Amino acid sequence: VVVDSEHRFCLDEKAISSILLQNDIMNLPVAVISVAGAFRKGKSFLLNFFLRYLTNYGTDNWLGGSDELLSGFSWRGGSDRDTTGILMWSKVFKISLSGDRQFCQFMLNTHIMDKQKHHTEYICFRLHGFIMSIREICCVNRLHGKLVNKTLLNIAQVYPYEYEFGYEGGRKLLDKRLELTEQQHEELQRVRTHIRSFVLSAYSYSFHFFKGFSDTLSTPQATAEANNLSAVSKAKDVYVNLMEEVCGGDKPFLNPARLEDKHQEHRQTSLDGFDGSRKMGGVEFSMSYRDQLEVDINESYENFCKNNDAKNVFRYARTPAVFFAFGAVSYILSGLFGFLYLTSFSTIFSLLCMATLVALVMWAYVRYTGEHQAIGQALEVTADFIW
């Protein structure tokens, strides 16, 4: 059975008739063995041992030597699939039972699930399992007993012979898994087109909602954490929106004392909204999230204060005014000491006057061009010190 380009199952009737309608087996009972399992977990490899057993049925050393090549169904290592469709081994094994009874043993190798198949094809594929006489479920890395250590660290490199360890190897494997082909169903192509935004840009505005599910938690506890995180986010949005109405980007400069009053008022409104919202886990469980909300509100308030200070025109005028006044005073003192023939003091104040003039010109250049911000900050600090 194969899947054609239009995602339909096609049965090779000629091939299956040549196997089932052989004269010596066509009237015998039939038993079918297949292996079901996840992608690239060794189903073909396991079936080849079954074939070796049936081929050497009745002998003691059916397994053969350790250097004997394992032949049968095509198999290989790596990350790409090797089996496609439902394959039947061409040789039929006749098994004798007590009372001169016989039956025919068929071997099926199956693999349909890959990046090109739609979920409707998976459903059709699973139906073939109902006709199996023996279905071997290949479960790898699924079952384990009690762990010896409380902490077990597993570091696994997937397909080390194809992709090197690290970021580049992982990126190549991810590109291989998410590549688009013409054979893929339209729905699968849409998924792969948009899934990269979730894989490569996971830390978005809503990413913190999922932190509650990152550890191994019970479902109620994980739900309670996500519920409280959502309440924190909504309460913070209330505070930010109220403060934007008071001192947003389009609002004029606000007196710092009044800004503090509005902060306290809207902070309490936000906290009351958090306390009044429906949350899971109880008061004690929500207390840490309430504390985190207060921290977030204080950080937002600091940003509002900085933005409000940036609107103060006189704050920016203070620096040139300080330098101008300091230069004027230095110039007057330089002339005064020169008149009194105190040449040394006159020279010092003359240099201070020139330095102040240079600083004033440099400050104007930084403010106008936006370059050399470090120099501009140093001049602001100097002006604050003189003030």
Domain presence at residue 144 = no
The H or E element spanning position 110 is: strand 101-111
If asked whether residues 288 and 344 sit together in one domain, one would say no
**Residue 175 pLDDT level (bands cut at 50, 70, 90):** confident
Domain presence at residue 152 = no
Mean pLDDT value across residues 31-39: 75
Domain presence at residue 155 = no
Q: Which residues contact 28 (CB under 8 A, 6 or more apart)?
A: 94, 102, 103, 104
The whole-number pLDDT of residue 296 equals 93
If asked whether residues 268 and 304 sit together in one domain, one would say yes
- Find tokens 């886990």 and name the residue: 281
Mean pLDDT value across residues 341-363: 79
Q: Which residues contact 205 (CB under 8 A, 6 or more apart)?
A: none
If asked whether residues 118 and 6 sit together in one domain, one would say yes
Task: For residue 229, give the nearest of 273, 284, 293, 301 by alpha carbon.
Answer: 293
* Among candidate residues 284, 310, 336, the one where a domain is terminated: 310
Mean pLDDT value across residues 359-368: 76
pLDDT at 261 over 80: yes
Q: Which residues contact 19 (CB under 8 A, 6 or more apart)?
A: 88, 90, 92, 106
Q: Which residue has the higher pLDDT, 141 or 99?
A: 99
The whole-number pLDDT of residue 232 equals 92
- Residues 266, 285 contacting (CB under 8 angstroms): no
pLDDT at 118 over 70: no
Mean pLDDT value across residues 77-86: 66
Domain at 45, CATH number: 3.40.50.300
If asked whether residues 305 and 343 sit together in one domain, one would say no
User: How many structural domains compose the chain?
Assistant: 4
Cα–Cα distance list, 223 to 201, 236, 279, 281 (Å): 24, 20, 10, 9
The whole-number pLDDT of residue 153 equals 41
State how far the Cα of 93 lies from the Cα of 31, in Å rounded to an integer: 10
If asked whether residues 105 and 180 sit together in one domain, one would say no
Task: For residue 223, give the nearest of 214, 213, 233, 215 by alpha carbon.
Answer: 213
Cα–Cα distance list, 185 to 117, 119, 120, 121 (Å): 7, 10, 11, 11
Domain presence at residue 75 = yes
- Find tokens 């699930």 and name the residue: 113
If asked whether residues 188 and 101 sit together in one domain, one would say no
pLDDT digits (tens, 9 = 90+) for 304-331: 988 888 777 666 667 777 777 777 888 7
The whole-number pLDDT of residue 151 equals 44
The whole-number pLDDT of residue 24 equals 84
* Secondary structure of residue 182 in the 3-state scheme: coil
If asked whether residues 303 and 320 sit together in one domain, one would say no
pLDDT at 119 over 70: no
Q: Which residue has the higher pLDDT, 121 or 97?
A: 97
If asked whether residues 332 and 218 sit together in one domain, one would say no
State how far the Cα of 173 lies from the Cα of 110, in Å rounded to an integer: 24
The whole-number pLDDT of residue 125 equals 60
Q: What is the CA radius of gyration of the chain?
A: 39
The DSSP result for 122-178, as a single string, is: HHHHHHGGGG-SEEEEE--S------SSS-------SSTTTS-SSHHHHHHHHHHHH
Q: Give the domain extent around 320.
A: 314-386
- Give 219's DSSP letter: H
- Mean pLDDT over the full length of the chain: 75
Domain presence at residue 145 = no
**Residue 217 pLDDT level (bands cut at 50, 70, 90):** low
Domain at 253, CATH number: 1.20.58.420
Domain presence at residue 148 = no
- Give 333's DSSP letter: H
Q: What amino acid occupies position 170?
A: G
- Residues 387, 323 contacting (CB under 8 angstroms): no
State how far the Cα of 380 lies from the Cα of 207, in Å rounded to an integer: 39
**In this predicted structure, which of 181-185, 224-228, 291-295 has the lowest mean pLDDT?**
181-185
18: alpha, beta or left? (left if phi > 0; alpha if psi -120 to 50): alpha
Helix ranges (DSSP H) in the chain: 13-20, 43-55, 119-127, 167-178, 186-194, 196-200, 219-247, 256-276, 282-310, 313-339, 343-369, 373-386
Cα–Cα distance list, 130 to 34, 123, 134, 315 (Å): 11, 12, 10, 82
pLDDT at 333 over 60: yes
Mean pLDDT value across residues 238-253: 87
Domain presence at residue 28 = yes
